[in-house]
Structure 1
């Protein structure tokens, strides 16, 4: 379990969405489709290809960018 505390839920969502938007450029497609999962969502990363450490590093980079006021990409929901 890993936690990174950010000031607001909007900041948390911005970090998550930025990381997810960069997924295809890093060579990652959707790992499991909505049809394969009972909740209708999709699983975004294959844990065999994306380490916990690489995700933690990405979270820290984006949290630091937000802290400096450098929201690099506009926030869009899904």
Structure 2
């Protein structure tokens, strides 16, 4: 009998353990199996004609910036995730 859960990479995680995947999912192992959810919110309330979202996989965050000048951040009014 196993004392944990195997993830998609065949790595064993102990029951009760939590981890973040390289795809920015927060996961938890229980006797019922693995439960994962996104570790980030996605911006949706912004000027889509003027701005673009850039995802940082290192920090699992989005930055919304002007398409023509990535040094200028755009206001975001709504997030989902």
Band the TM-score falls in, shorter-chain normalisation = under 0.3
Normalising by structure 2, we get a TM-score of 0.25
**In terms of Rg, which structure is larger?**
2
Higher relative contact order (CA 8 A, sep 6+): 1
TM-score by length of 1: 0.26
Structure (1/2) with the larger helix percentage = 1
Greater strand share, 1 or 2?
Answer: 2
